[in-house]
Structure 1
């Protein structure tokens, strides 16, 4: 763990700045913010028009002088000033006033595994700009494992897959630390893009940018499994004429298009298992893999991983908020480290 539990217990607020959603946990109040990481700006005046869900609804529907921006990309803050403004508006004046009353406000933030120093610095500066005197950084893999109830502090192996919008992180944990991990540049956005590209090339159909998730349209029912519907009806815009059009899409072809980006996830799981000590791999055969993150809800993805690895795969109870809930549990002192009893020296 990159920071001690004692330091986290002194923190007052925890933040998970994701590429898709921003979540804020306040000690004593729980999860207070769970909104899309989007902001709409008036380019003429520089003023912020909307943040969160309202700004996301504006995507693709704004006049030329309104720009919809995403200050977080791949779990990394790429626009510190805009991220600070977005967080201020998401928190609201009342909550910010309560936090300002803290004499020495401490904050904690989730960061992706193997985040480079610049990415860590951007996360720290974002929260310092909100008034935090000290910022602790916690690996997203550790926080997510704690949030879904895995016994990370025990000397047994637990494997977790964090399926985010921009990245997928795979790790084996033991004794409260990461034994081996891999971060892949494939997430829910890449899978959505594969579906959109398939519909454009095979059916000359363009889908709306964000009105509905195209993946859920194309894979309703049992999703990636072969028991799903053979044909799915999808509405969109014709590439050539620009008119609205409805097409009947072969679901099997969509499944094949989705499998292409998912092969890199399977390769990452294989690499993590190869780098893992044999004793821990033996534990994983019984415990299996736990999936968290918003993209873990992709229909049929868990079954695909079962078939590819031969290990049990389960989705966490609330996969989308596991990381921030785990961070909150550590801040409130609900997680206790494993106490090791040193061998007492026997006097001769």
Structure 2
């Protein structure tokens, strides 16, 4: 980890390419981009019409010749050219001109814990297309742990749960490295999909694409728990008639609908704990789990995990920004490297 930190201090900017949002941190300037990972393209001439929030608002509202695309899926770049075009427009001409002044432009980027070489290469090529001469890759779990202030460099166990849009990553860290980790292909989008399917089957109601974040619409406070509201009103389109309609849904039925994706997440936590050394698991009894990522803000999710695992569960102060803030701390040199000096021979 010491060598990687030394390399990261030489980087000029860092990118967190997420399935939901793209964030860019520039050394000395801070967070300069925090926009949805969405682009709108004119299919007739290939022109880029919009990126970020404006493109996201166009989802489901465009004519046939405009296509809304997401060049990043599950933290992996699936369309390198479109990702480069999106990043160029998100950065803006002024910031790109500033970065081009660097004689040897270096970049850092987050990658999922189990990213294969092809996925890593796609991330590297995306940033090379922006002018980077060298790209350093950092495990998303390490970056997020640093960003939320966990003492990852100590000989103590810390457990982090990265709640992303497309996947959930769980890991136990100690001495600056990942001891054991698990990636579950279930994230906020899977929970959204489960509730959308429940509304369609039980109430014959279709939600608009911009209202798919159902728990933020339907529930509040402890919404996912039995202590939350008993019912909530939802607006959508009737499957049969196509007309706008409102229904009052039972939140207990919603909790039942999302049990399948949440059970997969809990299984991932149990697998990580089973394969960890007992000494590290004992540390976690008091420290518990730190939740980061945008989906960590789903109402009541932390309480459900607390009841299921019997461990303390905490949500980071700004969970959606932890990964990019961790990269920024490494770039700015705010993290001291872990140095393990070998003992001299007696």
TM-score range, shorter chain: over 0.9
Gaps of 5+ in 2: none
Please give the alpha-carbon distance, in whole angstroms, between the structure 1 residues aligned to 2:172 and 2:210. 34
1:251-270 paired onto structure 2 within 5 Å? 251-270=251-270
**Partner of residue 146, structure 2:** 146
Q: Determine helix, strand or coil for the equivalent of 1:173.
A: strand
Give the drift of 1:343. 3.6
Report which stretch shifted further, 195-204 or 1-10. 1-10
The alignment's TM-score, normalised by the length of structure 1, stands at 0.97
Please give the alpha-carbon distance, in whole angstroms, between the structure 2 residues aligned to 1:102 and 1:59. 37
The alignment's TM-score, normalised by the length of structure 2, stands at 0.98
| 2:185 paired with 1:185 | yes
Give the drift of 1:2. 10
**Partner of residue 329, structure 2:** 329
**Partner of residue 233, structure 2:** 233
Please give the alpha-carbon distance, in whole angstroms, between the structure 1 residues aligned to 2:174 and 2:13. 27
**Partner of residue 17, structure 2:** 17
Runs of 4+ more than 4 Å apart: none
Q: Determine helix, strand or coil for the equivalent of 1:225.
A: coil
| 2:82 paired with 1:45 | no
Give the drift of 1:259. 1.7
Give the drift of 1:319. 0.1
Cα gap change, 1:182 to 1:213, in 2 (>3 Å): same
1:63-82 paired onto structure 2 within 5 Å? 63-82=63-82
Decide whether the 8 Å contact of 2:215 with 2:299 is kept in 1: no
Decide whether the 8 Å contact of 2:2 with 2:339 is kept in 1: no
Cα gap change, 1:176 to 1:149, in 2 (>3 Å): same
Decide whether the 8 Å contact of 2:160 with 2:292 is kept in 1: yes
Give the drift of 1:228. 1.2
**Partner of residue 250, structure 2:** 250
Please give the alpha-carbon distance, in whole angstroms, between the structure 1 residues aligned to 2:55 and 2:291. 29
Report which stretch shifted further, 204-213 or 29-38. 204-213
Decide whether the 8 Å contact of 1:143 with 1:327 is kept in 2: yes
Please give the alpha-carbon distance, in whole angstroms, between the structure 1 residues aligned to 2:123 and 2:340. 34
Report which stretch shifted further, 92-101 or 211-220. 211-220
| 2:81 paired with 1:84 | no
Please give the alpha-carbon distance, in whole angstroms, between the structure 1 residues aligned to 2:201 and 2:211. 21
Please give the alpha-carbon distance, in whole angstroms, between the structure 2 residues aligned to 1:160 and 1:212. 27
**Partner of residue 116, structure 1:** 116
**Partner of residue 169, structure 1:** 169
Please give the alpha-carbon distance, in whole angstroms, between the structure 1 residues aligned to 2:297 and 2:315. 8
Decide whether the 8 Å contact of 1:2 with 1:139 is kept in 2: no
**Partner of residue 136, structure 1:** 136
1:284-323 paired onto structure 2 within 5 Å? 284-323=284-323
Give the drift of 1:339. 3.3
**Partner of residue 105, structure 2:** 105
Superposition RMSD in Å: 1.2
Q: Determine helix, strand or coil for the equivalent of 2:172.
A: strand
